[in-house]
A and B are shown apart, each in its own frame.
Chain A
Amino acid sequence: MGIITDSQNKKKPSSSSTFPCAKLRDAYHNCFTRWYSEKFVKGQWDTEDCVSEWQKYKACLAEHLEDKQLSRFLEAEGNVNCTTTDGG
């Protein structure tokens, strides 16, 4: 079935609808993981960093996310009662 041995197969992603957001995603992700390991797990969970990175990345996803089942989750965020101030 070639699960383990597929390292020779240079398969290309056949659907990378969010590819245009890759740079914004990396910027957000790097910021998030730093915040998580340096602040959140160390007890500083009262404020959230990376707000502008998240806003930019989310705006890009809203534009490029073609899969309707996935965009449902993105849209659902509007209904979430977010208690953080994001200055939006």
Chain B
Amino acid sequence: MVKAYTQEYTYKHPWDRVTSASWKKFADAENKRTLSHILEVDTLNHKLDPSTGKLYTTRAITVHAPGPWFVRKIVRQDVCHCVESTVVDAQARSMQLTTNNISLEKFIEVEEKIRYDPHPENPNGWTLCRQETSIRIKPLSALASMAEKVEQRCAEKFVQNSAKGREVMERICKYLEAESKGISI
């Protein structure tokens, strides 16, 4: 039982601005209201390879995911820890983020992959974002009989949250654009 979703989105902003916005996504106070399901984001590890211009980062993301009552009854917790690994290649201009849950992994595995690349139609002006989400409910888990329903709800939640994420990204990009032009908004 695996559900996979692919979404594509074009940001009409250059790659360096969009990836800068991605780093700011969870930090700014205004976005914290929109992305209220994100409780904590901590950088656990980072490494720069100065010879190739590659930056590797590992972050912990704590998500508030209360879920339906029957899930809460089984898992007995309403926060979920995820680990996000990011590779940015400054030379090739690519950013790849992979996020996996590390809690509740006995019940469910969620993997989200996001890539930001210069848009082939306008590489210096636009950025293409490709997002793949796969959700797998573990067979034989206590949730197996309700798995179908849980998967559906999970998927809905991910789609809603990625829409919220895009909204925040657009807002930060606009802000960064104004900043780079010396306009205060």
Contacts and interface: CB of A to CB of B under 8 A. Distances in A.
Contacts of B161: 3
Given A33-B23, A83-B49, A40 B44 contact: no
A21 B41 CA distance: 11
Contacts of A21: 42
A36 B23 contact: yes
Interface string B1-43: 0000000000000011101100110010000010011011011
Contacts, number: 108
B39 A16 contact: yes
Interface in A1-38: 1, 3-4, 6-7, 11, 13-16, 18, 21, 25-26, 28-29, 32-33, 36-37
A63 interface: no
B50 A28 contact: no
B108 interface: no
Interface in A59-88: 61, 65, 67, 69-70, 73-74, 76-77, 80, 82-84
A45 B42 contact: no
B64 A11 contact: yes
B62 interface: yes
Contact of A76 (B45, B68, B78, B160): B45
Interface string B83-116: 1000010100000000000110000000000000
Contacts of B17: 37
B62 A15 contact: yes
Contacts of B19: 36, 41
Nearest to B24: A33
B133 to A, nearest CB: 15
Contact of A73 (B58, B62, B79, B176): B58
Q: Which 4 A-B pairs have the closest CB atoms?
A: A41-B16, A37-B20, A45-B53, A73-B44
21 contacts: A3-B157, A3-B161, A7-B36, A11-B64, A13-B79, A16-B39, A32-B43, A33-B23, A36-B55, A37-B176, A40-B53, A47-B50, A48-B48, A54-B46, A65-B42, A70-B83, A70-B102, A76-B45, A80-B45, A80-B47, A82-B47
